[in-house]
Structure formats: C-alpha cells, structure tokens
C-alpha cells in the first residue's frame, strides 16, 4: 500500500509542472515586453517566425482582455525560446 502511494506521489510530482504551466504565466504588458525581447534574440529563423506569429496573437488577446488565449499564445511562443 505504501509503495503504491509513493509511486503515485512521484508520478503526480513529475506530471504536475507541465499540467499547471499555463497557470504560472501572467499575461500583462511587462511579460509581453520580456517575451518580445526573448523572441527577437532567437537565432533559428523558423522558430523565430513561429514565435513572432504567436506573440502577435498574444498581443491581440491581451488587448481584447482574453487572458486564457493570451496565456496559450505566450506559452506557444516560449516553447522554442531556447537560444541556439
């Protein structure tokens, strides 16, 4: 019983961060500016183009007060956001 409980706890801990990733994103002008700087610094042209499209959609969602859409597009823009 204890072994099953420990296994379930470990699995939940591993799955938890990805499941709640969108809840950590704050869709505001400050974070949008930081994300824009990060996207502009990307080296991979294809990733940068994709991230710029997602960033544009996030800005539009922010202007329309659609927080969930904004968070989703910001998250998508950040996915390929590791400089090469």
Paired tokens of 41: 């610094």
Contacts 24+ apart (CB under 8 A), 7-15: none
Instruction: Give the start-to-end residue ranges of the domains of the chain.
Output: 24-84
Paired tokens of 4: 């099953």
Q: Read off the pLDDT of each residue in 25-48 and give the average, rounded to a whole number.
A: 92
Q: Read off the pLDDT of each residue in 2-13 and give the average, rounded to a whole number.
A: 54
Mean pLDDT of the chain: 79
Q: For residue 16, name the pLDDT band (cuts at 50, 70, 90).
A: very low
| Per-residue pLDDT, 8 | 52
| Per-residue pLDDT, 24 | 84
């Amino acid at each position: 019983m204890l072994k099953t409980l420990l296994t379930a706890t470990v699995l939940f801990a591993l799955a938890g961060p990805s499941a709640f990733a969108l809840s950590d994103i704050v869709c505001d002008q400050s974070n949008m500016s930081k994300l824009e700087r990060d996207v502009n610094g990307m080296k991979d042209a294809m990733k940068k183009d994709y991230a710029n499209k997602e960033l544009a959609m996030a800005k539009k969602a922010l202007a329309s007060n659609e927080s969930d859409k904004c968070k989703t597009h910001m998250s998508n823009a950040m996915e390929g956001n590791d400089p090469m």
